[in-house]
Structure 1
Amino acid sequence: MDTHDIVTHIKNNDSPAVLASLIGVEGHSYRKAGAVMLFFEGGVIGSLSPGCLESDLQLRTNEIWASGQPEVVEYDMLSPDDFSWGEAVGCGGKIKVVLEPVQGELRETLIEANERMAAGENLVLIRELTPEGYSYRLEAGAFITKNTDSPVFSTLLVPKPRLVIFGGGHDAEPIAALAARVGFRLAVADWREGSLQNDFPGAGRVVCPPAEAAVRLGIGQGDYVLICSHQFQRDRQFLESVIPVEPHYIGIIGSSARINLLLEGLEAPSSLHAPVGISIGGEGPEEIAVSIVAEMIQIRRAGARKLPKGVDRVESSRHISGSRTKQKDGSIQGFSEAVAGDFPRERRAQ
């Protein structure tokens, strides 16, 4: 979800920034081609490695910004004999990274992307090398397609998944806070205006009857929904309105007996998690929030509609590769040479 934070930062800040994109991978790599990170004064957003590349990339950013020209750097970590960088845990391949100053057409394109992503749109940022330099365009979609007729590379820009909370009580506050910290956008709906005065930083807020909330918030198939108003009839009305929309995740807080009553006469969708949360024996609002948000993370990472509680189908998601290969210095290539695939011999950074 780094791309959403990156385009938001660019929209809200006009200070110098350099975008680093992973455009080629040979062998093992911590991130796949298309991954991005942003360097700016005072910080970074995202990562391309477990930490073995970022320092070197950051050293190059001032020169990139000053020149106004992109540059491609290649890192070869296939050899186990180079100890110059120390252990590169999680790395063991050859990768290419392009560094681009965020200015001019690129900045304008990313600002447009921010506006479209805020509306929940998946986008592909396509860069194509022309005789005049890079051209940029955005295409709607959730997959990267390669243009084989010209040197291009693409980055998938995916908005953060949205968590819609129905019921703005105090027990929803720690859930909202934790969900926001791990990469969810927030929206809160309630029929009581006073409930929406609680602490839901950055959340969109809608006061309306429960049956209208799904339409008012534009709930769609990519959304996560949590029902926690603790008012039986209103929870039922909201549930009836949201099931036909088929959100990616529906969680209901409450006992099994109460949930059975809520579902009486309704066909439970495969995305329903009730009672909500992974069973960790949590007590109190904060621990229950951990249980609920952990389940949403599990669903998000596994990309599945329904998983047994506590089971993760992505076998490698809890482990960082322990590759013991060592990293070589990043070699700088001419930009047009690298994108076109005409790679020169390595030149060592000093």
Structure 2
Amino acid sequence: MDSFELLERVAASDVPLALATVSRVSGHAYRKAGAAMLLASDGSKFGSISPGCLEEDLQERVAALLEEGKPQIVTYDMRPEEDAVWGDAIGCGGVVTVLLEPVTGTLQALLNEARLRVSAGERLRLERSRSGEYIRYRLMPGGEEPRAADDGEAGLADIRLEPRPRLLLFGAGEDAVPICEAALRIGFLVTVADWRAGRATSERFPHANLIVGTADEIVRGAGLGSDDYVLLCGHQLRKDREMLEAVLPLHPVYIGVMGSRKRIDALFEGLQATPAVHAPVGLAIGADGPNEIAVSIAAELIACRASGAAG
């Protein structure tokens, strides 16, 4: 669950919620500090902070947590030499500290405020500080990596709250369908664009935004900017070239181009490729066929997104 979905879940929930945040990790763990999930009073769970080994224990704490209205800090020591049950059964071998807190009062109000601001394009950070038995919260600008808990603020880590990254997928051929589905699953907001109205349809891409038009019309309609991702898979040299000429001056964070090296050389003739260009697109994992190629592209998008967050 990405941070935007977390905010949407908080706003839409009609049952009390608890927020579980990974605050500190020592050794190996499934998620890093700042990863968060929601646990509902009716037993529902949204997101994950482990492969499933911690969620059941956290869920059992929710009822008492909501009744008391106070946050809890829970430490899971999964090193084999310290805890045979956790260590042998799970094999993670690390120590994970989790902050479990009721989504009420100030926290709930700030998360609802964050939803509106993030929807408008802001990047925020939810900061926590100790206030007796309770926690003070504030929203701060910035989308950098969350601050992990330190010794002075045991169990208090930041959460990064930011819009979903946007991917413009140009070319609505058959190979675009698994790419769109993969990008949606990893948290991208996808717009599928094509010059053919019969290809970019809601039946084929039910969860994507759709644009039909020329390259300039697509760029204007999508409102492309420097934070966006673009993938060219029109499979028509002239159409891909028109789109490439339209998006290069905008300096998007990522431009992926499908095709052979020979075709890519022809496509870029007279143009200057930037470090944002990934051509041929996708990580070199020996992918074959539309589904495997979609996996290689999704992996590259994840790597690009992670490097941008770290930067």
Alignment TM class, shorter chain as reference: 0.7 to 0.9
Structure-2 residue corresponding to 1:188: 192
Residues of 2 paired with 1:258 and 1:169: CA distance?
18
Could you report, residue by residue, the CA deviation over 1:278-321 in whole angstroms, capped at 9, with x for unpaired residues? 345544433332332233234334559xxxxxxxxxxxxxxxxx
Of residues 255, 273, 279, the one that matches 1:274 is: 279
Structure-1 residue corresponding to 2:93: 91
Could you report, residue by residue, the CA deviation over 1:318-347 in whole angstroms, capped at 9, with x for unpaired residues? xxxxxxxxxxxxxxxxxxxxxxxxxxxxxx
Give yes or no for contact 2:170–2:192 (8 Å, CA) kept in 1.
Answer: yes
Relative distance call for 1:276 and 1:22 in structure 2 (3 A) is: closer
Residues of 1 paired with 2:266 and 2:279: CA distance?
12
Give yes or no for contact 1:29–1:90 (8 Å, CA) kept in 2.
Answer: yes
Give yes or no for contact 1:5–1:45 (8 Å, CA) kept in 2.
Answer: no
TM-score by length of 2: 0.82
Residues of 2 paired with 1:175 and 1:142: CA distance?
26
**2:97 counterpart of 1:74:** no
Single out whichever of 79-88 and 290-299 deviates more from structure 2.
79-88
Give the 3-state SS of the residue equivalent to 1:165 in structure 2. Answer: strand
- Which protein shows a greater Rg? 1
Give the 3-state SS of the residue equivalent to 1:19 in structure 2. Answer: strand
Deviation at 1:130, TM superposition (A): 3.8
**2:51 counterpart of 1:47:** no
Structure-1 residue corresponding to 2:254: 249
Deviation at 1:246, TM superposition (A): 1.9
Of residues 210, 225, 229, the one that matches 1:224 is: 229
Q: Which amino acid aligns with 1:194?
A: G
Q: Which amino acid aligns with 1:28?
A: G
Structure-1 residue corresponding to 2:177: 173
Structure-1 residue corresponding to 2:266: 261
Deviation at 1:126, TM superposition (A): 1.6
Could you report, residue by residue, the CA deviation over 1:174-225 in whole angstroms, capped at 9, with x for unpaired residues? 1101221233221122343333214223222233421243343232333221
Deviation at 1:77, TM superposition (A): 4.9
Residues of 2 paired with 1:290 and 1:192: CA distance?
26
Relative distance call for 1:122 and 1:89 in structure 2 (3 A) is: farther
Relative distance call for 1:224 and 1:42 in structure 2 (3 A) is: farther
Give the 3-state SS of the residue equivalent to 2:84 in structure 1. Answer: coil
Residues of 1 paired with 2:259 and 2:78: CA distance?
51
Residues of 2 paired with 1:132 and 1:80: CA distance?
32
Could you report, residue by residue, the CA deviation over 1:126-158 in whole angstroms, capped at 9, with x for unpaired residues? 23344694443222202246999x966421124
Residues of 2 paired with 1:192 and 1:45: CA distance?
38
Residues of 2 paired with 1:109 and 1:239: CA distance?
41
Residues of 2 paired with 1:89 and 1:170: CA distance?
41
Structure-2 residue corresponding to 1:35: 35
Q: What is the number of equivalent residue pairs in this alignment?
A: 302
Give yes or no for contact 1:49–1:90 (8 Å, CA) kept in 2.
Answer: no
Give yes or no for contact 1:73–1:97 (8 Å, CA) kept in 2.
Answer: yes
Relative distance call for 1:11 and 1:257 in structure 2 (3 A) is: same
Relative distance call for 1:285 and 1:110 in structure 2 (3 A) is: same
Residues of 2 paired with 1:29 and 1:274: CA distance?
34
- Identity of counterpart residues, as a percentage? 45
Residues of 2 paired with 1:50 and 1:287: CA distance?
24
Runs of at least 5 residues in structure 2 that lack an aligned partner in the other structure: none
**2:203 counterpart of 1:202:** no
Deviation at 1:227, TM superposition (A): 0.9
Deviation at 1:244, TM superposition (A): 2.0
Structure-2 residue corresponding to 1:17: 17
Give yes or no for contact 1:117–1:123 (8 Å, CA) kept in 2.
Answer: yes
Give the 3-state SS of the residue equivalent to 1:264 in structure 2. Answer: coil
Of residues 290, 293, 298, the one that matches 2:295 is: 290
Residues of 2 paired with 1:295 and 1:132: CA distance?
44
Give the 3-state SS of the residue equivalent to 1:115 in structure 2. Answer: helix
